[in-house]
Structure formats: C-alpha cells, structure tokens
Structure 1
Amino acid sequence: MSDLLNYLVQNDENFRRARLPALYSDFRPQRTLNPDGFAANVAAWKRGLASATLTGHVPSKATTRNHLTLDLDSDSLLRSLETKQFGRPLALGTVLQDALAHGEMMPLQQFLKAKESIYHRSWGSLPWAVVSWGLRQVGIGGPGDNLPKGRFVVLQNLEVVSKAFSEATADRSSPFERTFSKAHFQRTFAEGILENRKLSESDFEVMVKFLSRDKNVLVTDGNTIKIRSSSQAEDVSITEEDSAIASLKELMEDLTRQTEVLNRRIDELNIAAQDAVRRKNKIAAMAALKSKKLAETNLSRRHTTLSQLEDVAAKIEQAADNVQLVKVMQSSTVALRSLNAQVGGADKVDTVLDNLREQMGEVDEVGNIIAETGPAATVDESEVDDEFEAMLAEERKKEEEAERIKREAQQEKEAEETRRKLAELEKLAPVPVPGQEGEKETRPITPVTATTDELGEMHIENDAAATETEKIAQMAE
C-alpha cells in the first residue's frame, strides 16, 4: 500500500476498507442512476485528496512538497493509489473534473493572473460546458472524464491556511510588527502556519495572492507586505514608511543572523587555538587567535550597528503610535463637539435645570395642598394604647407559659435522677445492725418510693436522705 493510500485509510473515515471497492469502482453511471451515491463518492475523494495535499502525502515532481497545489502533470497520482486488489480508481478523472467545475480547484496560472477576487464571480458558477471549453483552450483536460493535467490550487486548503494565518498574527497590533519585506515575510511564516510543515515558495506565492486579493488580509506591492489591521480602510496601500520599515526589519534580521554566525566562529577559533596550544603548534595557535580577534572586532561592529538600528526601530514604532494617538484624539474631538452641540452648551443646561426645579416645586406645592384639603384621618389614641397593652399581656403570657414548661421539665429531670440513685441502692447487700453480744442482726434497706409530685416538692429532703443512705452503704462495705 502506497504512502498516499495508507494515509487515507488511516486518517479518513470515508476510506475505510469496506468503502474502498465503491470508491475504486467506475461509479460514473451513478450520476443519473444513484445521484446520492455518486455525490458521496465524489465528496469523499475531494476531501481525501485535499487533506492529503495539505499534509504533504500527494506525490509531486518538485523537490519540496506543495501543500496548497495539486500536481497532475503525470500519472504519478494514479500510480500512488494503485493496489493489487482494486487496481486504479476508475472514476478519479470525473472527481477532479467535478472539482474544477464547482470551483473547488483552479488552474494555478489562472488563479495567479486573476484580477478580481475568485469570490466575486465564482469559478463554479459557470456552466460545465463553458468551463470544459475554457480548460481545453489552455491545454487542460480533454474529452470525457479524463484526468486533467497541470497544477491546480486547492481552495479548501487555502481556507485552512487563511484561518491559521489570521490566528498566528492576531496579536500583531503595531505597524512595525505588521510590515515585512517579501523575503522576511516568508522566513517569518514559513514554518509557523501549518504544524510540522513548511510552506514552499509556490505555496507562499499562492497564499499571498489569496490573502491580499480574496481575503483583504494583506496589502502588497510585490516587495513589501503589510498585514491589515481591523481599523484600516479598504483602499490602504503600501507607503514609503512601510517600505522603510520593511527594509529596516530585514537588515536587523540579517545582522542578527551574522552575529550568530560570528559567535559560532569565535567559539570554533577558540577551541582550535586551545587545541594548537596543547599540540605546541605555535603558528596554528597564533593564526587561530588572530582570526578570533578579527571575528570579535566584526562582532562588536555588528552589535553596535544592530543597537543603532534597534534604537531607530523603537523611534519609528513610537512615532507610529503617536500618529494613531493623534488620530484617536482628533476623532474624539469631533465626537465631543457633536455631543456638546446636541446638549446646547452650559447656558441651555442651566435653563433646563431651572425649569426642572420649578416643575418639581410645583409638584410639591400641589401635593401639600391636596394633603391639607383632603379628609383628615383620625386615630383614637386610647384604642391604640389598649391594643398595645393587649399585645404586651399576650407576650407576657407566652413568656410565663414557656417558663412554667421549663421549670416542670427541670423538676422532672431532678426526680428522675433521684429515682435512679434509689434504684442503685436497692441492689446493694443488706446492711449489718449492732445487736446483743455474740449475735449479729441484719436489716435490709427498705426501698423508698415516691410519686413524681412529691419528689418535685421535696427534692431537698430526698437529696439529704440519699446522702445518708450512701453513708450507710459505705459502712456496710
């Protein structure tokens, strides 16, 4: 199984093994016999090829894989999909022709040369007869459903890259951060848009054209590229300031790269000099040290120049921020002037407030008159006092009842405690009583019982009796 087919089987549910016989069959008759089945097979191939192209699994003659264009200059695509069990996909030409007819793919040169946005008049809005005739005029396609030849832009992949680019540059707010030379732009975003994939030069050309012409995300004059901000007007163009900023940033990047090279060169020469000293090779050591000194001198000059350029860049960025600040202040001034004109000035506000106070005063006067002339509400103070005293009496009654319940509960608790102690005494052995000489007499303890009311009234005497009984029990022991 080829790398392309293996990728499709592993990553696309439409290419599960149970579906392969249908996808590899000649399903062209289903266009009329089974339109839903035909559309499902065509959509599966379109999505699968677009995904495989974006991830770099489609074969190409180019040394670097293209992620936004599909190369159909030879039968390499069919060979990469060929299997011993199913052979080659018989209706793949139909799938690609359908993608061209519906504007999901476009010939590369036609895409790059188009002056208007591809969304202004969709490629897929033309009748298929007109599209096929136009493709044949430029040498693409042929009679029937043959596999088209050439390089084609996959618009689905362009949409993916456009979204990823917008997310990657969302935090670039200042003009200095959003302006690049063409080479600097490519080096900056070559590996930062698609995860673990590097865009080729052809991909960058297609992406810049799409983002500038069709998405209005970029502005370019061929040498300088600027990322639009959300507040910029549609007719924004590259200015001399933008070109200067782009050249300055590219020069700073070159100097930074040179300093990195010189740092590595100095480290290598230092190691070479130490090695020559260990080998007692004075000539080699002196030559290495001399080269090291020259490299250090060049490094110092590069750092000085780079520091100056960074200072200039900071000033440019500050000036750009000042421009934006002044624009905001101007617009704020216009807004305040308009609002103050609507208010009418301080004199009008004073007049309005005076009128408001006057009207509020009239409302108060009317209210006072109505209160004086209206029926007087008489209240019998004695009835109020009686009702208050009744409420107090009711409250005292509730408190006394609560206190009585609390006292009875306490008495019941004390009586229960007394009964428990008497029960414990009944379980003790009889207490010996002194009698005649040589005789011993025992007298059992008579149980003491009492009612709850008696215990509640005589709890003090019960406590004394209990204490005496405890002393007797101790003597018996």
Structure 2
Amino acid sequence: MGELFEFLTSHEQFRRARLPALYSDFRALQSLNPDGFAANVEAWKKGLASALQEGCVPASGDLLVLRVDESLMHALETREWGRPLALGAVLRDAAGKKEMMPLKSFMAAQESIYQRSWSSTPWQAVSWGLRQFGLMDKYGDNDRVSAEELVVLSNVETATSEVLRRMVNHTSRVDMIYSKQMFYRDYGDVLTNKRHISQRDLEVLLTYISRDKGLADYDGQTIKFKSHSDAQPPKITHEDSSIASLKNLMFDIEKQLETLAARIDNLSSTARDAVSRKNRVSAIAALRSKRLAESQLAKQSTVLGQLEEVYSKISEAADQVELMRIMEGSTGVLKALHKEIGGVERVDDVLAQLGEQMAQVDEVGNVITEMNRGVVDESEVDDELEALELEDRDKKNKAERLSNERKEEEEAAETKRRLGALETAVEPHANQSKQTTPEKSTEGQVEESSKLLQQLSL
C-alpha cells in the first residue's frame, strides 16, 4: 500500500468500512441497487481526481492527465481486498458523462468538447486500453501492452477557475498577453503548491481555455486573454507576439541582475578572505571580476530600465487604443439614438403637439364641469340638508329625554329603598322605649327617630 492508497483512505468516502464494497465487482448493483452503484462510482471518480490533483498518482508527473496502466493498478492493490474489480465501470461512467476524455481525442478535437457528442467514440478508444489491464469483461493477469491516458476535466476546470481568479486585477490589455513560458511561470502552481503542472498539463490547460471556454486565443506560443468588454477573444497579432517577447526579455534580464548581484556579493567575500590570508593575487583577481560584474550589472540595469519604459509606453498606447475604440463605439450609439429621436425640430414638434393635447384635455374637463353644475338644483340640496339637520336634532332630544326619565326612575327607587331601611331601623328602638320608659313623651320619640334618620342619611 503506497501513497495513493493512503491518500484515498484519508477521505470519508474511502473509510475502512466501505473498502470491501469499493474493491468488489459492484457492476451488478447498476440494476439491483442503482443508488449504491452510483455512490461507489462517485467515490472512485472523486478519489482518483483528488489524488491526481495532489500529485499522489505514482509514475505520473501530470496533474490533469490520469494514466491508466499497471502502475496505477499496483498502487491500488491491497493484500486484504486485492485490486478494484469494477474500476473499468467507473472509467466508463466518467467517459459517458464527459468527466474524463482520452488525451488524444481531447487534443485532436477541432471544436469545443461541450458542443459535440463524443460519448461513444472516446469510450471505444478507452475500452481497448482498459481490456489490456483486466478492467473490462474479465479480471485476470492479462498482458499489459498499452496504457491509456485520460484528461480529468474536473481538474482542468479547477485550474481554469484559479487562473481567472488570479487575473481578476489585470485591467490593461498588455497584462492579458503571455508567452507560454511566462504563463507557466505565473500559473504553474494553480492546483497545488507542492508541485507545478507538467508541460503536457500546460498544453491541455491552454487548449481548454482557448478552445472550450473561449477565454483566450492561443497559437502555440502566445496566449491573449479577452478583456471584460470583449465578446470574443481577439486574435493574436504580430504586435501581441512582440509584447510577449518583450515581457520575456524583461523577466530574463531581471533574473540576470539577481545572478550578477549574488556574484558581486560572493566576489566581495572572496576578496576580503584573500586579503585576510595575505593572498594578494587572489584578492586582485576577485576584485577585477567584481568590477566586471558591476559593470555588466550597470549595463543590464540600464537596458532593463529602457525596456520597462518601452513597456510602459506600449501599455499606455494600448489603453489609449482601447479608450478610442470605446469612444468610437459610444459615438455610433449616440448617432443611432439621435437619428431615432429625429433632431431638435422633431422634439419641438412633439412638445408642441403634447401641449395642444393637454390643452384639449383641460378644455373638455371644464365643459364637463359646467354641465354638472347645470343639472343640480341648489334649493333641493338646501331642503335636504335642513331635513337631515332636523332629524339629527330630534334624535338628540329624544335621547336626552330618555336619559332624564331613566335618571328620575333611579332616584325614586333609591328614595324608596332608603325609606324602607328607615322603617326597619326605627321599629326596634320604638319597642325598646315602650318596655323601659313607658312614660317617655312623644317628642322624645320623634327626636330619636330624627337622629336615626340622619345616621341613615350619612
């Protein structure tokens, strides 16, 4: 078990409990358990694509092209489960869904792979190679006479997205032009920081970007990306190739300057060391070499400065060309709009007609208002208003009368209740007075009754 198997088993889809199912011949599940079949196939496709992207596939320097050969089968083989018996079904499913494509068919395509049906022909090409490794029809130790190389499109799409993300701040048209060497230098690590894509990966990626996505024009040496204002990528011109060569030359000189600076530092150290050892000859030789390197450094720095100035002027001119192109297009748009408007005279006519129509609307409204005024009899309106006011007063008087009657009834009931309470309270006192003081005068009884009445009132 090597790096590839360890990488796969580090993912949830290849946890140990699933390995027996993934390594078995699960092709029968396609009819018996379609969901289980699809889950196993998806696990293998994602696992192989991720392993390839991380550079974990053995004997392969590619990150976009999967090589199906004996080394791959050996890397997947285990003592406990052997080799994956349904890997052929996995690759066939990937080819049928346009997720993998034979490298030769991919590079030979004349139009976008998204615009033509290639699900049958590529699979015929793939199936022959798979039979050589016992991945189709039978699973024995067949002779391994050939290898099949498949472009993993999910990895290509991931690399393309990363390239576009890095280019988001490039606004100048000159910045959108690359030589093949420069593109590889700037975007070779689009998939992983551990390693760069191979030269074959680079060719696949540039072909996909230009032919299948329509994001750039590519002639084998120069890449020219389209800007946000371009509907289609502009064709590469001789000037574009010259700009790419200029950028390459500037980069090479920068590298030379770094090398010369390091050489000068090294020669300075050598001269000091020779002086400390009293070796005059070595010190003089080191200083002479240092002077030559410094002279060359100065010349190269001057050349680089001149090239940078030229590049700046080219960039400025390219931006001016783009500006003029946009202004020219805007002028055409304005002309078309003015033509559609018809000039100042037509605007005056339209405004005059609009004023006339609005005046007619006002006139018709006034006529209708006058007609309505003649139909209504104002005396009838006044009589109806007076009747409504009289009705309203009658309602208010009736309500007030009913309220007063209810109030009088409530007061009478309250008086009656108090008199009843008074009689009830006076009777016990009268009986007591007769028993204790029969000689008490009538005036005393009246006075006592008055006091009781006052208490009840309180």
User: TM-score category by the smaller chain?
Assistant: 0.7 to 0.9
8 A contact 1:5–1:80 mirrored in 2: yes
State TM-score, norm by structure 1: 0.70
How do residues 95-106 of structure 1 correspond to structure 2 at under 5 angstroms? 95-106=90-101
Distance 2:125 2:55 in 1: 29
Contact 2:54 2:191 in 1 (8 A): no
Contact 2:215–2:233 (CA under 8 A) maintained in structure 1: no
Q: State how far apart, in whole Å, the 2-side matches of 1:48 and 1:193 are.
A: 16
Change (3 A) 1:202 1:177: same
- Measured against aligned partners, the alpha-carbon deviations of 1:286-310 in whole angstroms (never above 9, x if no partner) come to 1111111111111111111111111
Query: Which shifted more, 85-94 or 164-173?
Result: 85-94
For residue 190 of structure 1, the aligned residue among 166, 188, 201 is: 188
| Residue in 2 that maps onto 1:392 | none
Whole-angstrom distance in 2 between the partners of 1:372 and 1:91? 94
More deviation, 42-51/222-231: 222-231
- Separation in structure 1 between the aligned mates of residue 5 and residue 310 of structure 2, nearest angstrom: 54
Cα shift at 1:363? 5.8
| Displacement after TM superposition at 1:368 (Å) | 7.4
Q: How far is the alpha carbon of 1:213 from its aligned partner?
A: 1.2
Instruction: Report the counterpart of residue 395 of structure 1 in structure 2.
Output: none
Contact in 1 for aligned 2:173/2:315 (Cα 8 Å): yes
Distance 1:45 1:370, change over 3 A: closer
SS in 2 for 1:288: helix
Cα deviation, residue 359, structure 1 = 4.9
Contact 1:164 1:194 in 2 (8 A): no
| Amino acid paired to 2:4 | L
Alignment of 1:411-450 (within 5 A): none
Indicate conservation of the 8 Å contact 1:97/1:145, yes or no: no
TM-score by length of structure 2 reads: 0.73
Any idea what SS the aligned residue of 2:101 has? strand
Q: Report the more deviating stretch, 333-342 or 34-43.
A: 34-43
Listed as ranges, the matches of 1:290-305 within 5 Å are: 290-305=288-303
Aligned residue pair count: 369
Q: Distance in 1 between matches of 2:96 and 2:351?
A: 71
Instruction: Give the corresponding residue for 2:236.
Output: 238
Change (3 A) 1:284 1:119: same
Counterpart among 258, 282, 285 of residue 284 in structure 1: 282
In the TM superposition, residue 237 of structure 1 has moved relative to its aligned partner by 1.6
Deviation at 1:253, TM superposition (A): 0.6
1:180, CA displacement in angstroms? 1.2
Q: Is the 8 A contact 1:14 1:44 kept in 2?
A: yes
For 2:56, the equivalent position in structure 1 comes to 57
- Closer/same/farther in 2, CA of residues 281 and 354 from structure 1, 3 Å limit: same
CA shift at 1:109, angstroms? 2.1
- Give me the whole-angstrom Cα distance separating, in 2, the residues matched to 1:133 and 1:109: 13
**Counterpart position of 1:88:** 83
Whether the 8 Å contact between 1:182 and 1:223 is mirrored in structure 2 is: yes
Write the distance in 2 (CA, Å) between the matches of 1:96 and 1:23: 14
The correspondence for 2:264, drawn from 247, 263, 266, is 266
Which one-letter code corresponds to 2:25 in the other structure?
D
Which of residues 75, 100, 109 in structure 1 aligns to 2:104?
109
Q: Where does residue 247 of structure 2 map in the other structure?
A: 249
Partner of 2:174, secondary structure, is: coil
Cα distance in 1, alignment partners of residues 76 and 231 from structure 2 = 48
CA contact (8 A) 2:4 2:76 kept: yes
**What residue identity is the alignment partner of 2:269?**
I
Q: Cα deviation per residue 1:417-451 (whole Å; 9 max; x = unaligned)?
A: xxxxxxxxxxxxxxxxxxxxxxxxxxxxxxxxxxx
Change (3 A) 1:87 1:33: same
Q: Aligned partners of 2:66 and 2:242: how far apart in 1?
A: 37
List gaps (5 residues or longer) in structure 1.
Answer: 378-477
**What secondary structure does 1:173 align onto?**
coil
Question: Aligned equivalents of 1:207 and 1:292: distance in 2?
Answer: 44
* Residue number in structure 2 paired with 1:20: 19
Work out the CA distance in 2 between the residues paired with 1:46 and 1:320. Answer: 45
Secondary structure class of the residue paired with 2:17: coil
- Distance change (3 Å), C-alpha of 1:163 and 1:122: farther
Match of 2:341 among 324, 340, 343: 343
SS at match of 1:19: helix
Residue 64 (structure 2) aligns with: 68
Per-residue deviation, 1:59: 0.9
**Which amino acid letter does the alignment assign opposite residue 300 of structure 2?**
R
Q: Deviations over 1:70-89 (max 9, x none)?
A: 12232x22222233332322
Tell me, yes or no, if the aligned pair for 1:179 and 1:246 is still in contact at 8 Å: yes
Tell me the residue number matched to 2:405.
none
- Relative to structure 1, is the Cα distance of residues 41 and 363 closer, same or farther in structure 2, using a 3 angstrom cutoff? closer
Choose which of 280, 304, 307 in structure 1 pairs with 2:305.
307
Identity %: 47
Looking at structure 2, the residues matched to 344 and 203 of structure 1 have their Cα atoms a distance apart, in angstroms, of 58
Query: Which residue is equivalent to 1:7?
Result: 7
* Structure 1 position 199, deviation (Å): 1.2
Provide the residue aligned with 2:177 in structure 1: 179
Structure-2 separation of matches of 1:28 and 1:343: 69
Deviation at 1:279, TM superposition (A): 1.8
Quote how far apart the aligned CAs of 1:158 are: 1.1
Give, in whole Å, the separation in 1 of the partners of 2:238 and 2:357. Answer: 63
68 and 364 in structure 1: CA distance in 2 versus 1, 3 angstrom threshold: same
SS in 2 for 1:89: coil
Alignment partners' CA distance in 1, 2:117 and 2:336? 44
One-letter amino acid of the counterpart of residue 22, structure 2: L
**Aligned partner letter, 1:109:** K
Q: Is the 8 A contact 1:161 1:194 kept in 2?
A: no
Paired residues of 2:182 and 2:248 also in contact (CA < 8 A) = yes
CA deviation map 1:239-283 (0-9, x unaligned): 011111111110111111111111111111111112222222211
Cα 1:170–1:255 change in 2 (3 A) is: same
Would you say the 8 A contact 1:184–1:250 is kept in 2? yes
Matched, 1:320 2:318: yes
User: Do 2:23 and 2:81's aligned partners in 1 also have CA atoms closer than 8 Å?
Assistant: yes
2: CA distance, partners of 1:269 / 1:5: 51
Distance in 1, Cα, partners of 2:15 & 2:362: 85
Contact 2:52 2:62 in 1 (8 A): yes
